[in-house]
A = this chain, B = another copy of it.
């Protein structure tokens, strides 16, 4: 009975592979289908290895959630250019692949559904949400100032809440039932809606 041959991977690399495999399994089989064994198969290793890299399955799940939030927010937070371009890009990025796809929303929903259950995940969620909304709030502050209509913190906050809600809602709808919308339709609706909300054109 020969053992499988294997490759000893650098620690960081292997951890990342395991987390990626975890996310694959959650999106394809749901949280309860993401078993240690299934995850190991997906990562091309045996189940025991999981516990060599993570204290428990729960801890690995929590790290996987951090990875999801990072991938959902990093692209949107790194927009560059003048305020108008950054606002426009922020909206478009969040409603276009790869941020907007069915895998992402499945992962997002799976973790959201655990926020009430697991305080660790609740804390990770809150941090991510506030960081995202604050980034949008700053973006809006810059945009309004550049358009010659500077707004106070409270006004920016209300705009940020509304636009964040709008973008999130459209993101979910588009991810879950993309075939109900025409190509680029959600971005177009979002752009027009934000213009109406702010009472300003998003043009240079």
Task: Answer whether A116 and B112 are a contact pair too, CB < 8 Å, given A165-B166, A169-B167, A193-B162.
Answer: no
**B28 touching A116 by the CB < 8 A rule?**
yes
**B106 touching A109 by the CB < 8 A rule?**
no
Does chain B have a CB within 8 A of A29? yes
Does chain B have a CB within 8 A of A79? no
**A169 touching B176 by the CB < 8 A rule?**
no
**B173 touching A161 by the CB < 8 A rule?**
yes
C-alpha gap A106/B169 in the complex (Å)? 16
**B115 touching A113 by the CB < 8 A rule?**
no
Chain A residues 112 to 138 lying within 8 A of chain B, measured CB to CB, are 112-117, 125-126, 129-130
**B-contact bits for A48-61, CB 8 A (1 contact / 0 none):** 00000000000000
Does chain B have a CB within 8 A of A170? yes
Nearest to A165 among chain B residues (CB) is: B169
Task: Answer whether A113 and B197 are a contact pair too, CB < 8 Å, given A166-B162, A176-B129, A189-B162.
Answer: no
**A113 touching B31 by the CB < 8 A rule?**
yes
C-alpha gap A172/B176 in the complex (Å)? 15
12 further contact pairs, Cβ within 8 A, besides A105-B112, A162-B192: A31-B31, A33-B117, A106-B115, A106-B116, A113-B113, A115-B176, A162-B166, A165-B169, A165-B170, A166-B193, A168-B168, A168-B172
Interface residues of A, Cβ cutoff 8 Å to B: 26-33, 102-103, 105-107, 109-110, 112-117, 125-126, 129-130, 158, 161-162, 164-170, 172-173, 176-177, 180-181, 186, 189-190, 192-193, 196-197, 199
**Complex A-B, nearest 6 residue pairs according to Cβ-Cβ distance, in ascending order:** A165-B169, A169-B169, A32-B32, A109-B113, A110-B113, A168-B169
Q: Could you jot down 15 A-B contacts, CB within 8 Å?
A: A30-B114, A106-B113, A106-B116, A109-B109, A113-B113, A158-B192, A162-B189, A164-B169, A165-B166, A165-B190, A168-B169, A168-B173, A169-B169, A196-B196, A196-B199
